Structure 1
Amino acid sequence: MTTLYHNPRCSKSREALHLLEEEGETIEIIKYLEKPPSHQELKQIIELLGIGPIELVRTQETDWKENYKGKNLTDEEIIDAMIENPKLIERPIAIKGTHAVIGRPPKKVLDIL
């Protein structure tokens, strides 16, 4: 089973979902804008991705630019910012077992199958 952190309004996220469905993958869809991950869940996702928290942030989002850009934030503060403003989380994120990828481009989600 693949878990997909998904935003149905995002074309890249929809495309990633479609690619997984075409592969016959069983998918647990998490609409993270409606149900943001907890602090611990987001830390685990970041660890699985093998990146730093800032690499999961959509730094071109208005909320980031207006409220966080240029500030010297700790990793914990960056994670808290994503939880408070889940649209700052890069999407889509696909997780299968101990492997995770950001679906940019969407076909990257196939790397974990």
Structure 2
Amino acid sequence: MLTMYHYPACGTCKNAQKYLKEKGVSFEEKHIVNEPPAKDELKSLVEKSGLPLQKFFNTSGKKYRELNLKEKLKDMDDDEKLSLLASDGMLIKRPIVSDGSKVTVGFKEDSFAETWVK
């Protein structure tokens, strides 16, 4: 079973949900702000994704800009970055979809087709 961390008002999340539903792929939804992934879970998701940790930050988000993270992240180690992400779901790029072994971040139809549609 897939787990999708999403934010209900996020257009990209809505597109990802619609796509998976149309393809008959079932998934469990987790509200990324009300139930943000814990630091250890984030670390695991990053490792399984094969992506750099930076790709998990919602760089277009208001909170990211307010905290001036573009500059601050340069001086932070991965542990500090993971703690920061775990502290506020609005800082996390969404949706994050995982089946426990694979992970996608954001929504690109071709990537979803390749990864989640059998």
Unaligned stretches of 5+ residues in structure 2: none
Task: List aligned pairs for 1:28-47, cutoff 5 A.
Answer: 28-47=28-47
Q: Is residue 109 of structure 2 the alignment partner of residue 99 of structure 1?
A: no
Displaced runs of 4 or more, over 4 A: none
Cα deviations by residue, 1:20-62 (Å, 9 ceiling, x for unpaired):
1111112111111111111111111111111222221112333
Secondary structure of the residue aligned to 2:107 is: coil
Unaligned stretches of 5+ residues in structure 1: none
**C-alpha distance in 2 between matches for 1:107 and 1:4:** 17
Aligned-CA RMSD value: 1.6
> How many Å apart are 1:9 and its aligned residue?
0.4
Using structure 2 for the length normalisation, give the TM-score: 0.84
Secondary structure of the residue aligned to 1:19 is: helix
> How many Å apart are 1:102 and its aligned residue?
1.5
Secondary structure of the residue aligned to 1:69 is: helix
Match of 2:93 among 90, 93, 107: 90
Percent of paired sites with the same residue:
27
Paired residues, what number? 113
* Number of the residue aligned with 2:70: 69
* Number of the residue aligned with 2:23: 23
> How many Å apart are 1:107 and its aligned residue?
5.0
